[in-house]
């Protein structure tokens, strides 16, 4: 009996060693080769490949890939000789670009580095280009700064990489209407997309706040429509600028005209063609969006014939749309798109189609007659008619139409592409995929990169699965990939834009390129740490990594020491205790002992003096709150529903519309009101005397009170962010109140707790009493 068991144990041990050893190897490879997105397969070899002035770039005999060889020279910052055909001299090392039809994916590539030769094989220039970006990330960061003198010699570790993307649509979007961005910035943006192997750049070129692309047939679109006086969104930015200069409205887009200060700008067609060529050289398609029939105020201002009744103003939620019942509208739209298609060679053209206020169509006699004539039964059908007719027009020009997911309403042709954004309509992408439409996922949560950061932002992006639950494998093939969107109402500068998308854009890059079996957040994060130096060289104003274990309200019963492990060794942590914002001359944090209730503001500073987020810690001296003497024998909490839009919890109406009980802290599915509040109340039965930390994530706002002490204040209308706070509690029943508001557009509500610095966990249902 003993021997077989012994043998079995040995086998298990060997298996464990192989597995453990294997994963250690993978970990090592990841830190030695901090590639983002990480390749499908990477095996380290022996020795170094040296590149110097004698190295030759060898092309296939027919000279294909010469453009990519140029891109490689740019990355290496060397002017290496490029030769086609078989190799003539054996004196130098060789970088060989090979055309290999056995590599099936257009963007796939194989790369072998030995001390003698670097071979890149692909079946297209796109694959070669993606491989060059891998090489770029393997080379010293200092090469990114084109002002620094390039080294005369470079070396690469021997290895083999086999790589291909997981998804075909790996996109980023930028709204250049709400605030405008220079041609120069677009090029920088494209270069960053290329570095992380994105292949789609969606440009939101028009909206109510500005028309940004020259249309020769309708010159007033930019002569007038590209300029505006400062609006409410600018005012918010100006107010925020008092604490953060990244919010100062970019002066390069402010002009004086006829005694008025105007904000705006536009791209000429020549400029945009230059940007398109720049992107194409980096194997990135620019997808233009001319948003219609809604979001057209900038155009209607100059061409009022576009509406049904000549009115151009805000309706209840959105601006008045153009009129789909007049032939003049189609003539305009087609003329505009003719010029757009001339500038943008992309197979895909985005028509927008989101957030349409159809009220005026319903009131229009012209529309009533039009609908009767065309057999259109309702206003959603009328919108559908507009989109379908435009799709036919796009198709007649060899292009495919993309629309935001509202284009599903009222019926959609199966050939249109659906871009999913409304997180609160989870059925939309499933319906679209089942209908046979191709779908691009860009749900507001977590892919709106204009949304506020919290410490989970990168993680939430990294954990995003582009394929929604509820699809068969076959249907899932309709999910082309995903993209993140950057809406710029509150992003008035390039600096602010950088901050909002970097580094979370790198998390998305890995979601979309790297197979999910190889993805590991901690591993990604350690590679990301090594990317910050490259981003510094590229002058990207990225968001610094979060300081760990930041809790907004910290409670102590005696005294406490504030001690923070720096996320990057070269950061300085500086703080104030007088309520002012930390500056480069504030005090250095060094095990600060806290003995009294006070507010500490703390921020990390880079060696260059750039400040990270300011964290405010409210220290409160508390004694343990005694348990309530009440008896509460019912399980669960009482929940009171108040319908309506409340901007803050203090404004929730006094009389609830209904009262019911809940067994956990969730918003009941049965609530259908677009905007509402829920007040949860009762007790939590805590198991021991302790300082409890609560983490409240909500969209929109929420305020948590435990033991009648304000514990977490996450109030106001905002996207999903986590706030946390502590409260000192004695064991037993403690009064509990959570007020939650939802202002429309989808909600999130999550409450977790922890004690003694342990991992946050859900509040057990057995704790809830009333
Ligand atoms: C959108 O955010 N309105 C697409």
> What does the pLDDT look like over 181-221, one tens digit per residue?
999 999 999 999 999 999 999 999 999 999 999 999 999 99
User: Bridge-partner residues for 97, per DSSP?
Assistant: 120
Pocket test for ligand 1, best of 175, 318, 354, 418 (most atoms within 8 A of CB): 354
Ligand 1 centroid–CA 295 distance in Å is 10
- CB 613 within 8 Å of CB 650: no
> What does the pLDDT look like over 392-436, one tens digit per residue?
999 999 999 999 999 999 999 999 999 999 998 999 999 999 999
Beta-carbon count within 10 A of 699 CB: 27
Ligand 1 centroid–CA 421 distance in Å is 7
CB-based burial of residue 610 (10 Å sphere; 0-12 exposed, 13-18 middle, 19+ buried)?
Answer: middle
| Angstrom distances, CA of residue 454 to CA of 71, 124, 384, 726 | 37, 40, 38, 18
CB-based burial of residue 334 (10 Å sphere; 0-12 exposed, 13-18 middle, 19+ buried)?
Answer: middle
CB-based burial of residue 248 (10 Å sphere; 0-12 exposed, 13-18 middle, 19+ buried)?
Answer: middle
Confidence category of residue 7, pLDDT binned at 50, 70, 90: very low
Ligand 1 atom with the smallest distance to the CA of 444 is 2
- Catalytic residue, candidates 164, 207, 498, 742: 207
CA dist., res. 356 & res. 295, Å (int): 8
Convert 252-278 into a string of H (helix), E (strand) and C (coil): HHEEEECCEEEEECCECHHHHHHHHHH
- Catalytic residue, candidates 191, 224, 274, 355: 355
pLDDT at 54: 94
pLDDT at 22: 43
Closest alpha carbon to 502 in 193, 135, 185, 75: 193
pLDDT at 630: 83
Q: Which helix (H) or strand (E) holds 620?
A: strand 611-621
pLDDT at 470: 92
Convert 550-618 into a string of H (helix), E (strand) and C (coil): CCCEEEECCCEEECCCCCCCCCEEEEECCCCCCCCCCEECCCEEECCCEEEEEEEECCCCCEEEEEEEE
> What does the pLDDT look like over 627-654, one tens digit per residue?
999 888 899 999 999 999 999 999 999 9
Ligand 1 atom with the smallest distance to the CA of 352 is 4
Ligand 1 atom with the smallest distance to the CA of 487 is 2
Ligand 1 proximity of 420 Cβ (cutoff 6 Å): no
Across the range 253-279, mean pLDDT stands at 98
Ligand 1 centroid–CA 444 distance in Å is 8
Ligand 1 centroid–CA 361 distance in Å is 21
Ligand 1 proximity of 355 Cβ (cutoff 6 Å): yes
Q: Is 253 an annotated catalytic residue?
A: no
Ligand 1 centroid–CA 271 distance in Å is 26
pLDDT at 88: 59
Half-sphere exposure (Cβ direction) of 619: Cα atoms closer than 13 Å: 22
pLDDT at 258 over 80: yes
Strand runs labelled E in 189-253? 200-204, 206-207, 210-211, 227-228
Residue owning the nearest CA to atom 2 of ligand 1:
421
Residue owning the nearest CA to atom 3 of ligand 1:
354
Tokens of 626: 């005694």
pLDDT at 30 over 90: no
Tokens of 329: 């509208």
CA dist., res. 706 & res. 628, Å (int): 11
pLDDT at 90: 65
pLDDT at 87: 66
Q: Is 295 an annotated catalytic residue?
A: yes
Ligand 1 centroid–CA 443 distance in Å is 10
**Beta carbons within 8 Å of 675's beta carbon, 6+ residues apart:** 643, 644, 645, 646, 742, 743, 744
> What does the pLDDT look like over 60-78, one tens digit per residue?
999 999 999 999 999 999 9
Ligand 1 centroid–CA 568 distance in Å is 36
Ligand 1 atom with the smallest distance to the CA of 448 is 2
Ligand 1 centroid–CA 537 distance in Å is 33
Residues in the chain: 770
Half-sphere exposure (Cβ direction) of 597: Cα atoms closer than 13 Å: 4
Tokens of 308: 């049904």
φ/ψ of 296, rounded to 5, equals: -115, 15
Confidence category of residue 746, pLDDT binned at 50, 70, 90: confident
Query: What angle (nearest 5°) sits at the alpha carbon of residue 418, between those of residues 412 and 423?
Result: 115
Query: How far separated are the first and last CA of the chain, in Å rounded?
Result: 59
Tokens of 677: 């509040």
Ligand 1 atom with the smallest distance to the CA of 419 is 4
pLDDT at 309: 87
Pocket test for ligand 1, best of 296, 487, 745 (most atoms within 8 A of CB): 487
Pocket test for ligand 1, best of 355, 356, 441, 448 (most atoms within 8 A of CB): 355
> What does the pLDDT look like over 673-692, one tens digit per residue?
889 999 999 999 999 999 99
pLDDT at 292: 98
Across the range 274-288, mean pLDDT stands at 98
Tokens of 136: 């770029």
CB-based burial of residue 135 (10 Å sphere; 0-12 exposed, 13-18 middle, 19+ buried)?
Answer: buried
Ligand 1 proximity of 291 Cβ (cutoff 6 Å): no
Confidence category of residue 25, pLDDT binned at 50, 70, 90: low
**Beta carbons within 8 Å of 242's beta carbon, 6+ residues apart:** none
Strand runs labelled E in 190-259? 200-204, 206-207, 210-211, 227-228, 254-257
- Catalytic residue, candidates 295, 350, 531, 642: 295
CA dist., res. 542 & res. 612, Å (int): 9
Q: Is 316 an annotated catalytic residue?
A: no
Least confident of 124-128, 308-312, 380-384, 412-416: 308-312
pLDDT at 770 over 80: yes
Closest alpha carbon to 160 in 52, 37, 23, 29: 29
Ligand 1 proximity of 406 Cβ (cutoff 6 Å): no
Q: How many helices (H) and strands (E) does the chain have?
A: 19, 38
pLDDT at 16 over 50: no
pLDDT at 8: 41
CA dist., res. 562 & res. 573, Å (int): 12
pLDDT at 13: 39
- CB 647 within 8 Å of CB 739: no
Closest alpha carbon to 582 in 553, 614, 546, 551: 614
pTM: 0.91
User: Bridge-partner residues for 694, per DSSP?
Assistant: 725, 753
**Beta carbons within 8 Å of 246's beta carbon, 6+ residues apart:** 493, 495, 496, 499, 541
Ligand 1 proximity of 339 Cβ (cutoff 6 Å): no
Strand runs labelled E in 236-379? 254-257, 260-264, 285-289, 348-352
Ligand 1 proximity of 421 Cβ (cutoff 6 Å): yes
pLDDT at 673: 83
For the chain, the average pLDDT equals: 94
pLDDT at 15 over 90: no
Ligand 1 atom with the smallest distance to the CA of 485 is 2
pLDDT at 19 over 60: no
Ligand 1 centroid–CA 420 distance in Å is 9
pLDDT at 466: 97
Ligand 1 atom with the smallest distance to the CA of 404 is 4
Pocket test for ligand 1, best of 207, 208, 293, 421 (most atoms within 8 A of CB): 421
Ligand 1 proximity of 354 Cβ (cutoff 6 Å): yes
pLDDT at 11 over 90: no
pLDDT at 28: 66
pLDDT at 6 over 90: no
Closest alpha carbon to 213 in 183, 185, 233, 253: 183
Percentage of the residues of the chain whose pLDDT score is greater than 90: 89
Ligand 1 atom with the smallest distance to the CA of 355 is 3
């Amino acid at each position: 009996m003993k021997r077989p068991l012994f043998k079995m144990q040995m086998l298990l041990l060997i298996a464990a060693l192989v597995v453990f050893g294997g994963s250690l190897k993978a970990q090592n490879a990841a830190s030695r080769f901090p590639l983002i997105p990480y390749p499908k397969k990477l095996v380290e070899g022996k020795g170094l490949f040296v590149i110097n002035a004698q190295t030759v770039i060898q092309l296939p005999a027919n000279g294909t890939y010469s453009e990519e060889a140029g891109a490689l020279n740019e990355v290496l910052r060397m002017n290496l000789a490029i030769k086609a055909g078989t190799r003539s001299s054996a004196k130098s090392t060789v970088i060989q670009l090979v055309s290999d039809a056995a590599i099936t994916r257009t963007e796939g590539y194989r790369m072998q580095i030995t001390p003698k030769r670097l071979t890149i094989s692909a079946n297209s220039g796109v694959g070669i280009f993606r491989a060059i970006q891998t090489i770029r990330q393997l080379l010293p960061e200092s090469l990114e700064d084109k002002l620094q003198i390039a080294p005369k010699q470079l070396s690469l570790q021997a290895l083999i990489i086999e790589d291909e993307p997981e998804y075909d649509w790996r996109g980023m979007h930028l709204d250049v209407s709400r605030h405008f961005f220079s041609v120069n910035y677009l090029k920088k943006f494209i270069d960053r997309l290329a570095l992380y192997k994105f292949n789609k750049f969606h440009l939101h070129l028009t909206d109510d706040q500005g028309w940004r692309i020259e249309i020769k047939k309708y010159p007033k679109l930019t002569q007038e429509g590209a300029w505006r006086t400062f609006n409410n969104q600018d005012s918010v930015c100006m107010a925020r600028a008092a604490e953060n200069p990244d919010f100062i409205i970019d002066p390069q887009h402010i002009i004086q005209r006829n005694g008025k200060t105007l904000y705006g700008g536009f791209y000429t067609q020549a400029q945009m063609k230059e940007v398109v060529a720049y992107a194409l050289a980096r194997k990135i398609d620019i997808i233009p969006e001319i948003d219609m029939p809604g979001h057209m105020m900038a155009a209607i201002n100059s061409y009022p014939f576009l509406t049904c009744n000549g009115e151009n103003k805000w309706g209840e939620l959105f601006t008045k749309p153009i009129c789909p019942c007049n032939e003049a509208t189609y003539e305009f739209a087609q003329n505009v798109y003719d010029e757009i298609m001339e500038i943008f060679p992309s197979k895909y053209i985005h028509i927008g189609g989101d957030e349409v206020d159809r009220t005026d169509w319903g009131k229009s006699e012209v529309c009533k007659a039009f609908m009767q004539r065309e057999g259109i039964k309702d206003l959603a059908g009328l919108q559908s008619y507009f989109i379908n007719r435009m799709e036919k027009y796009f198709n007649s020009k060899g292009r495919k139409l993309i629309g935001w997911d509202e284009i599903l309403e009222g019926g959609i042709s199966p050939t249109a592409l659906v871009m999913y954004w409304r997180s609160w309509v989870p059925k939309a992408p499933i319906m679209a995929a089942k209908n046979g439409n191709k779908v691009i996922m860009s749900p507001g949560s977590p892919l709106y990169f204009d949304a506020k950061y919290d410490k989970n932002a990168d993680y939430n992006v990294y954990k995003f699965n582009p394929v929604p639950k509820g699809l068969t494998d076959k249907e899932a093939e309709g999910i082309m990939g995903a993209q993140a969107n950057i809406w710029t109402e509150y992003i008035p500068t390039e600096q602010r834009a950088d901050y909002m998308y970097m580094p979370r854009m790198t998390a998305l890059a890995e979601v979309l390129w790297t197979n999910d079996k190889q993805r590991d957040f901690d591993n990604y994060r350690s590679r990301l740490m090594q990317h910050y130096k490259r981003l510094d060289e590229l002058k990207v104003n990225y968001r610094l990594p979060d300081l760990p274990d930041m809790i907004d309200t910290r409670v102590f019963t005696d005294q406490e020491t504030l001690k923070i492990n720096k996320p990057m060794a070269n950061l300085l942590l500086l703080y104030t205790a007088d309520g002012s914002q930390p500056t480069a001359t504030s005090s250095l944090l060094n095990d600060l002992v806290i003995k009294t209730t006070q507010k500490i503001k703390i921020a990390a500073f880079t060696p260059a003096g750039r400040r990270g987020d300011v964290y405010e810690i409210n220290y409160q001296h508390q004694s343990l709150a005694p348990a309530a003497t009440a008896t509460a024998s019912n399980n669960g909490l009482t929940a009171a529903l108040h319908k309506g839009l409340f901007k803050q919890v203090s404004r929730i109406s006094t009389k609830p519309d209904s009262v019911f009980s809940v067994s956990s802290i969730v918003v009941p599915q049965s609530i259908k009101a677009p905007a509402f509040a829920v007040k949860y109340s009762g007790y939590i039965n805590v198991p021991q005397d302790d300082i409890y930390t609560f983490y409240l994530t909500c969209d929109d706002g929420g305020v948590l009170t435990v033991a009648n002490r304000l514990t977490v204040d996450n109030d106001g209308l905002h996207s999903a962010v986590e706030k946390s706070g502590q409260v000192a509690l004695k064991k037993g029943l403690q009064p509990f109140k959570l007020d939650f508001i939802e202002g429309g557009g989808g909600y999130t509500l999550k409450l977790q707790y922890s004690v003694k610095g342990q991992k946050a966990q859900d509040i057990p249902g057995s704790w809830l009493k009333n």
